[in-house]
Homo-oligomer: A and B are copies of this chain.
Amino acid sequence: MSDVQESADAAIEETPDLEEVRDAWPALSLDERIEALSLLPPDDAEDLFVTLTAHEQVQMLQTLQPARRRAWLRLLDPEDAVDVVQELPPEEREAALAALDVRTRREVGVLLAYAEDEAGGLMSPRYATVRGDLTIDEAISYLRRQARDNLATVYYAYVLDDGQHLIGVVSLGDLFTAQQAARVRDVMQTEMVTVAEDMDQEQVSRLFSQHQLLAIPVVDKDNRLKGIVTVDDIVDVFQEEATEDIQKLGGTEALDEPYLTIRLWPLLRKRGVWLAVLFLGEMLTATTLGYFEHEIAKAVVLSMFMPLIISSGGNSGSQATTLVIRAMALGEVGMAQWWRVMRREIAAGLVLGGMLGAIGFARIVIWGTVTNAYGPHHVLIACVVAISLVAVVLFGTLAGSMLPLLLKRAGLDPASASAPAVATLVDVSGLAIYFSAAALILRGTLL
């Protein structure tokens, strides 16, 4: 990462290069960002500004003089401006709206009604439309005029009837390759992917990857066109959703902000809550061990393999929950597949547990024979450890794979079945399994 180092250094030099600032940007502190932006030539600064996240745009806007702030706000497309307005403190929203030109202000007013994470909150109200009875040549001329007046992104032209209902779509490629004398309605596609205004952004993003589209129209329940979601906005959605899932899997709440720029206190709160919950759950291990205090006192050697056994269950559980949660996010696994998942994980648990059990058995028997560290009954101890490993790893793969599905069934977020949460669950049951096996096998010898 020495290139990040260099870029970061370059960004605070006298006349920074736009691309260097862009590369270094995510790793810059707030002060360095403000400085870098002020040192860039105005055109470059504007180029950079419009590609920032809404959160970053607000941070930058708040450092600007009113005149420049107004100019920069006007650079934003309506779907980006609405995100900025939503990020602003309530008392500053009025002023920001007033800074927009009349048309954008009206568009932003409409978009403010939607939640940020639904199709309506992602959509642009600027799109190109054509009438079905135009010839191809007429349509292209018409689109050229529209692009000029409208600043619309033209990947597709949408064909509407008199009531603004969406009846077809034609891509620029279709228009370009059609015979000039043909009519739009002859080349338009009438089977279209559309989304409702309140569709969740994760579902919208899945449609983009299923259909490989550049834009998807958003329609109301009467099939009237309200806006379009474009693929460049969806790229950020993919990253956001993956980041959220990864952070939850690691056992924290989703940060919703970059790791380095989130303030320390919210960072600690988002980690501390889960850490405390897991700690309270893990206290059950002390309670469980309380029941086996006499066994431990009689055979201290048993306590030596405790961490080995519970961590093996935790690791196999972490693998299973990670694989299943990701497969669920990609739409590969749902409730309907629970039995296929369970079958796989029973097989995996037995094979992987058997493997660890064999390694553990060999280790204890060999080491015990060579050094006599585990006393005369080391073969029996090796049996206890091996059997426990199979059972604990099997329990780990089952708990790790079924918990996300159960959470989903209960209407909760499957990603709450984080690796640490599954490990905690397996720790408590793993100790019970281990000492029960020991009580059974070592009765009359060590116990």
Where the two chains meet, the residues of A that have a C-beta atom closer than 8 Å to any C-beta of B are 1-2, 4-5, 8, 22-23, 26-27, 29, 51, 140, 143-144, 147-148, 151, 153-155, 172-173, 176-177, 208-214, 231-232, 234-236, 238-239, 242-243, 245-247, 249-252, 255, 258-260, 264, 267-268, 271-272, 274-276, 278-280, 282-283, 285-286, 289-290, 293, 296-297, 300-301, 303-308, 310-312, 314-316, 318-319, 321-328, 330-337, 340-341, 344, 347-348, 351-352, 355-356, 359-360, 363, 373, 393, 408-409, 419-420, 423-424, 427, 431
Minimum C-beta distance from A120 to chain B (A):
20
**Complex Cα gap A331–B238 (Å):** 16
| Contact residues in B for A1 (Cβ distance below 8 Å) | 328, 334-336, 408-409
Taking CB atoms, residues of chain B closer than 8 Å to A308 are 279, 282-283, 285-286
A80 to chain B, nearest CB (A): 10
B155 A176 Cβ-Cβ under 8 A = no
Contact of A210 among B22, B243, B268, B280 (CB under 8 A): B22
The CA of A380 and the CA of B303, in the complex, are separated in Å by: 21
Q: Are A260 and B420 in contact (CB under 8 A)?
A: no
A271 touches B319 (CB 8 A): yes
* Interchain CB contact under 8 A, B243 and A245: no
CB-based contact B259/A332 at 8 Å: yes
Q: Which of B51, B243, B252, B282 contacts A311 (CB 8 A)?
A: B282
Report the Cα distance A279→B324, complex, angstroms. 22
Residues of B within 8 A of A147 (CB): 173, 176-177
A285 proximity list for chain B (CB < 8 A): 304, 307-308, 311
* Contact between A279 and B231, CB atoms less than 8 A apart: no
Q: Verify A249–B247 contact, CB threshold 8 A.
A: no
Docked CA distance A69–B260 (Å): 52
Indicate if the CB atoms of A260 and B316 lie closer than 8 Å.
Answer: no
Whether B249 lies near A246 (C-beta < 8 A) is: yes
A-B contact pairs, 23 of them (CB 8 A): A1-B336, A2-B336, A4-B334, A4-B336, A151-B177, A209-B235, A212-B235, A234-B235, A235-B235, A245-B246, A255-B323, A259-B324, A259-B333, A271-B352, A276-B356, A276-B359, A282-B308, A283-B363, A286-B304, A286-B305, A306-B307, A307-B431, A314-B420
Q: Which residues of B contact A332 (CB under 8 A)?
A: 26-27, 258-260
**Residue from A140, A172, A247, A274 having most chain B Cβ neighbours under 10 A:** A172
The answer to whether A176 and B144 touch across the interface, beta carbons within 8 angstroms, is: yes
- Rounded to whole Å, the gap between the CB of A148 and the closest CB of chain B is 4
A247-B323 contact in complex given A314-B423, A341-B260, C-beta closer than 8 Å = yes
Asked if A289 contacts B307 (CB within 8 A), the reply is yes
Residue numbers in B under 8 Å from A276 (CB-CB): 355-356, 359
CA of A23 to CA of B207, assembled, Å: 9
Q: Which of B27, B144, B242, B296 contacts A242 (CB 8 A)?
A: B242
A26 adjacent to B331 (CB under 8 Å): yes
Closest to A344 in B: B264
- A275: which B residues are within 8 A, CB to CB? 312, 315-316, 319, 352, 355-356, 393
- Most chain B Cβ neighbours within 10 Å, of A2, A172, A231, A282: A282
**Distance of A367 from chain B, by nearest CB (Å):** 9
Contact A311-B427, Cβ < 8 Å, known A143-B176, A300-B300, A355-B272:
yes
Contact: A51 with B333, CB < 8 Å? Answer: no
Q: How far is the CA of A49 from the CA of B357 in the complex (A)?
A: 45
> Are A323 and B419 touching (Cβ within 8 A)?
no
Q: By CB atoms of chain B within 10 A, which of A153, A177, A315, A325 has the most? A: A315
User: When A232-B214, A314-B423, A316-B275 are in contact, do A326 and B247 touch as well, CB less than 8 Å?
Assistant: yes
Q: How far is the CB of A395 from chain B (nearest CB, A)?
A: 14
Cα A177 to Cα B126 in complex, Å, equals 15
Q: Which residues of B contact A316 (CB under 8 A)?
A: 271, 275
Sample of 9 further A-B pairs with CB below 8 A, known A8-B336, A276-B355, A279-B360: A23-B331, A154-B173, A247-B323, A252-B319, A271-B319, A282-B308, A286-B305, A293-B301, A311-B420
